[in-house]
Chain A
Amino acid sequence: MIRPYVAVVIDSFRSAFASRVLWVALAVIYVFLLAISPIGYREVYTTTFRWTDFANGTRLKGMLAQAIQETVAADPTETRRETPAGRIARQLPAELQNNLRKVAEGQEVRIRLDILAEGLNSLYQLDNWYDADVWAGTTKLREWRELEQQPPDSLSEDLKNRRDRLRIEAALPGVFESRGSRSIALTYAGFTFPAFFQIEKSQFQMVLNHLVLRLIIDWVLGFVMIFLGILVTASIIPDMLQPGSLHLLLSKPVTRPLLFLAKFIGGCAFVLVCVTQLIVGLWLIAGFRLDIWNHRLLLCIPVCVFLFSVFYSVSAVSALKWRSPILAIGLANLFGAFCLIIGVGASLSDGFVTERDRVTGLTTAGPNLIASTRGGHLRRFDPTTNRWIDLFPDDTGRSDRILPPVTLADGRVVTARVRGGRLNLFGSGATPMLLIENDGASLPEPTLELPAGTRELIATRQGDLLAVNSGELLITSGRELRPEGEPASESDEAATDGDTATAKPSLADAYGAWLPKLVKLMGGPSDGFRSVLPRGMSLGTPNSVDVHPDGDHLFVYSGAKLIRLDRDSPSESAQDAWTPTARAESDLTGRAAWLRCLGDAVVLLRTEAPPLLFNDQLEPLDIPGDVLRQLTDLPISSVVACPRADSPANEGTVVIQTTDGHAWVLNRSVDHPVALRRMRGVSEVEAMHWDPAAERLWIAHHVDRATAWDLGSEKLPTRITPRAAETLRPALRGWRLADRYLVTPLRTITPQTGELGETIAAIVSGQNSLQIPFATAGDLGAVQRYNVWRPLLTCGAFVAVMLTLGSVYFARTDF
Chain B
Amino acid sequence: MSVAEPIIAVDRLTKTYRSGRIGGRPIEALRQVSLDTRAGEVFGLLGPNGAGKTTLIKILLGVIRGSGGSARVLSFPAGSIAARRRVGYLPESLRIDRHHTARSALQFYGGMSGLDRETIRIRGAELLRLVGLEGRDRESVRRFSKGMYQRLGLAQALLHDPDLLILDEPTDGLDPVGRNEVRKLLLDLKSRGKTIFLNSHILQEVELVCDRVAVMAGGQVRGVGTIEELTQCLGDREVRLDLAGAADESRLARLLAESLAPTTVPLRVDRLPGDLLRVTVATNDQSQIDRLVDRVRAESLSILSLHTPRRSLEEVFLMLVGPTEEEL
Contact = CB atoms under 8 A, between A and B. Distances in A.
Interface in A273-314: none
A238 to B, nearest CB: 12
Interface in A225-266: 239, 242-255
A320 to B, nearest CB: 15
Contacts of B8: none
Nearest to B64: A814
Interface stretch (A10-18, A139-147, A156-164, A758-766): A10-18
A252 B95 contact: no
A319 interface: no
A249 B93 contact: no
Contact of A14 (B58, B104, B115): B104
A811 to B, nearest CB: 11
B178 interface: no
B89 A244 contact: no
A239 to B, nearest CB: 7
A244 B114 contact: no
A253 B89 contact: no
B126 to A, nearest CB: 20
A467 interface: no
A206 to B, nearest CB: 45
Contacts of A185: none
A4 B109 CA distance: 8
A244 B104 CA distance: 18
Nearest to A19: B99
Nearest to A7: B111
B112 A252 contact: yes
Contact of B114 (A242, A249, A253): A253
Given A14-B99, A244-B91, A251 B84 contact: yes
A246 B112 CA distance: 13
Given A239-B97, A244-B95, A247-B61, A253 B111 contact: no
B108 A11 contact: yes
Secondary structure call for the A interface: helix
A18 B63 contact: no
Interface string B271-295: 0000000000000000000000000
Nearest to B105: A11
Contact of A3 (B82, B96, B114): B114
Contacts of B34: none
Interface residues of B, number: 37
A8 interface: yes
Nearest to A262: B112
Given A243-B91, A247-B91, A248-B94, A253 B109 contact: no
Contacts of B116: 3
A6 interface: yes
Given A244-B93, A245-B97, A247-B58, A252 B113 contact: yes
Contacts of A1: 114
A254 B62 contact: no
Interface centre among A8, A15, A242, A253 (most CB of B within 10 A): A253
A196 interface: no
Contacts of A250: 61-63
A15 B85 CA distance: 25
Contacts of B110: 7
B81 interface: yes
B84 A248 contact: no
A741 interface: no
A3 B166 CA distance: 23
Interface in A1-57: 1, 3-4, 6-8, 10-11, 14-15, 17-19
Contacts of A244: 91-95
B87 interface: yes
Contacts of B17: 814
Interface residues of A, number: 30
B121 interface: no
Interface in B112-169: 112-116, 153, 156, 166
A256 B84 CA distance: 13
B65 interface: yes
A252 B93 contact: no
Contacts of A245: 95-97
B95 A4 contact: no
B107 to A, nearest CB: 8
Contacts of A8: 112
Contact of B111 (A6, A17, A247): A6
B63 A815 contact: yes
Nearest to B81: A253
Contacts of B87: 251
Contacts of A251: 61-63, 84, 87, 89, 91, 166
B15 to A, nearest CB: 9
A7 B112 contact: yes
Nearest to A245: B95
A667 to B, nearest CB: 62
B108 A7 contact: yes
Interface centre among A6, A10, A19, A251 (most CB of B within 10 A): A251
Interface in B54-70: 58, 61-65
Contacts of B114: 1, 3-4, 253
B81 A247 contact: no
B113 A4 contact: yes
Given A15-B99, A815-B63, A254 B94 contact: no
B66 to A, nearest CB: 10
Nearest to A244: B95
B100 to A, nearest CB: 8
A10 B84 CA distance: 22
Contacts of B85: 253
Contact of A253 (B58, B107, B113): B113
B104 A253 contact: no
Interface string A625-640: 0000000000000000
A11 B85 CA distance: 20
B81 A255 contact: yes
B92 A252 contact: no
Contacts of B100: 14
Nearest to B120: A7
A469 to B, nearest CB: 69
Contacts of B109: 248, 252
Interface centre among A242, A244, A245 (most CB of B within 10 A): A244
A243 B55 CA distance: 13
B233 to A, nearest CB: 34
A3 B114 CA distance: 6
A418 B130 CA distance: 90
Nearest to B115: A3
A113 B115 CA distance: 73
A815 B98 CA distance: 22
A254 B63 CA distance: 11
B92 A253 contact: no
A19 B99 CA distance: 8
A6 B110 CA distance: 12
B64 A815 contact: yes
A517 B208 CA distance: 115
Interface centre among B91, B98, B153 (most CB of A within 10 A): B91
B52 to A, nearest CB: 14
A10 B98 CA distance: 15
Contacts of B115: 3
Nearest to B80: A253
Given A249-B112, A814-B64, 18 more contacts: A3-B111, A4-B111, A10-B108, A11-B97, A14-B99, A14-B104, A15-B99, A18-B98, A243-B95, A244-B93, A245-B95, A245-B97, A246-B63, A248-B94, A251-B87, A251-B91, A253-B114, A255-B81
Enumerate the 5 nearest inter-chain pairs by beta-carbon distance, A residue then B residue, closest first: A7-B111, A244-B95, A18-B99, A251-B89, A814-B64
Interface of B: 17, 58, 61-65, 81-82, 84-85, 87, 89, 91-100, 104, 107-116, 153, 156, 166
Interface of A: 1, 3-4, 6-8, 10-11, 14-15, 17-19, 239, 242-255, 814-815
11 contacts: A3-B116, A6-B111, A7-B112, A11-B97, A239-B97, A247-B91, A248-B89, A251-B63, A251-B84, A253-B112, A255-B81
